[in-house]
Amino acid sequence: MRILAIETSCDETAVALLEINGALERPNIKILGNTLLSQVALHEKYGGVYPNLAKREHEKNLPPLLEKTLKEAGYDMSEAELRTNDIDYIAVTQGPGLEPALWTGITFAEMLGKKWDKPVVPVNHMEGHIFSVLYDMSETERLILPALALLVSGGHTELVIVKDFGNYKIIGRTRDDAVGEAFDKVARMLGLPYPGGPEISKLAEIAREKQSEQAAAFRFPRPMINSDNLDFSFSGLKTAVLYKLKLENLPAGRQDRSDEEFKEDVSRAFEDAAIGVLIEKTRRALLELGGEIKTLIVAGGVSANLHLSQELSKLASEFPNINLRLPTKYLTTDNAIMIGIAAFVRAGKGPKILKNQTPIRAQGNLSISSAP
Ligand code: KG4
Ligand code: ZN
């Protein structure tokens, strides 16, 4: 099956053309064309994503990205109209995300759907993150369900039971900031560029290598780590970092430390606290769910974090019957490939996808538990 996928939920404009066949548990995924334009540099001065700017950029980027994707796939543009006959579905992110940005992708997808007479499949962005782990599986691997998914991105921190393809239950979520957002905000406090996750991670690794003794003096709280539920909270941790920075900025403060070392130690202490909570809540979920869970999926931008993946490997060794799956590095952050994969799952499991359905509505807060 050939799927053209479009992703515009946040600050990445992405288009991919995929050929996907085989079983849902281990599909054969061939990337025929894949393009992505990041707006990170544009949003950097705002310290986050500015929705109307994102919308304008998506509108500008989509037509050339489509053309480039089709060209990469070997579609001769002069006969592109004919070749599009072998595209089965157009997949587009419906939500969650920034609504003005989502609308851009949806409008574009529906316009193509009409022009090419193809069905348009609305995709839940978080379902895309989950099924990003289906890419690049070896011959012998299978995604065995039920799985527990820890979704960690700039907008979400969720623990989701993937009972079956298309059947999801959220059992834990953040009550305030998402973990990626906390990384980004702490990075901003430290004067590091946006997005802050990779920057914090780099400095934290340097601090770990140096085994700085001073780092021990930095210990941030691990909010809700002992709470009697599977929810998260990261805003208190962010505030604790802010207080620490204010305190250390007093003249008598950090005479014996270089600015760089100070940032490294704060990054490490913050990362230890944030990842510590993610690991502890995931452990608790796995224990509570008993033997039901066969696979632990960890996906979303923060799953690129080295310290998280190391701690996850340790956690997985406590549960020998559970298989740990993370996406290939370049599928951790937003991309169109994962949207195409989720559409393949939807086509294989959900109700029949028809042409000319009711128009798709962007839903900024679309929940994964409402996926069809
Ligand atoms: O999934 P994603 O690309 O976009 C959303 O759907 O939100 O996630 C982006 C988030 C950002 O907050 C970014 O700082 C974080 O993922 N991130 C990381 C790392 N790489 C990206 N956080 C920690 N460590 C990383 N290596
Ligand atoms: Zn995402």
pLDDT at 253: 46
Q: Is the shortest distance between the CB of 113 and ligand 1 below 6 Å?
A: no
Q: How far apart are CA 277 and CA 212, in angstroms?
A: 22
Least confident interval from 157-161, 190-194, 211-215: 211-215
Q: Is the shortest distance between the CB of 301 and ligand 1 below 6 Å?
A: yes
Mean pLDDT value of segment 4-13: 96
Q: Which ligand lies nearest the alpha carbon of 303?
A: 1
Q: Is the shortest distance between the CB of 183 and ligand 1 below 6 Å?
A: yes
Report residue 89 as tokens: 């579905």
Q: Which ligand lies nearest the alpha carbon of 188?
A: 1
Burial label for 17, CB within 10 Å (0-12, 13-18, 19+), is buried
Q: pLDDT tens across 165-177, in order? A: 999 999 999 999 9
Q: In terms of pTM, does the model score above 0.85?
A: yes
Dihedral of CA 100/106/112/115: which sign? negative
pLDDT at 55: 93
Report the separation in Å between the CA atom of 332 and the middle of ligand 1, taken as the mean of its atom positions. 8
- Contact yes or no for 100/55 (Cβ under 8 A): yes
pLDDT surpasses 80 at 252: no
Q: Is the shortest distance between the CB of 197 and ligand 1 below 6 Å?
A: yes
Q: Return the SS3 of 280.
A: helix
Please name which of 258, 324, 336 lies closest in space to residue 90, comparing C-alpha atoms: 336
Mean pLDDT value of segment 4-25: 97
pLDDT at 75: 85
Domains and CATH numbers, the chain: 2-135+330-370 (3.30.420.40), 147-326 (3.30.420.40)
* Beta-carbon count within 10 A of 138 CB: 6
Mean pLDDT value of segment 77-106: 87
Q: pLDDT tens across 29-84, in order? A: 999 999 999 988 887 777 678 888 899 999 999 999 999 999 999 887 666 665 77
DSSP state of 99: H
DSSP secondary structure string for all residues of 287-336: HHTGGG--EEEEESGGGG-HHHHHHHHHHHHT-TT-EEE---GGGTS--S
Mean pLDDT of the chain: 92
Q: How far apart are CA 221 and CA 13, in angstroms?
A: 36
pLDDT at 371: 66
DSSP state of 192: P
pLDDT at 51: 85
Q: pLDDT tens across 304-350, in order? A: 999 999 999 999 999 999 999 999 999 999 999 999 999 999 999 97
Q: Which ligand lies nearest the alpha carbon of 195?
A: 1
Q: Which atom, in ligand 1's list, is nearest to the CA of 12?
A: 3
- Model confidence at 256, in pLDDT bands (50, 70, 90)? low
Report residue 245 as tokens: 């920075």
pLDDT surpasses 90 at 303: yes
C-alpha distances in angstroms, 349 versus 151, 183, 229, 369, 372?
22, 36, 31, 15, 9
Q: Is the shortest distance between the CB of 194 and ligand 1 below 6 Å?
A: no
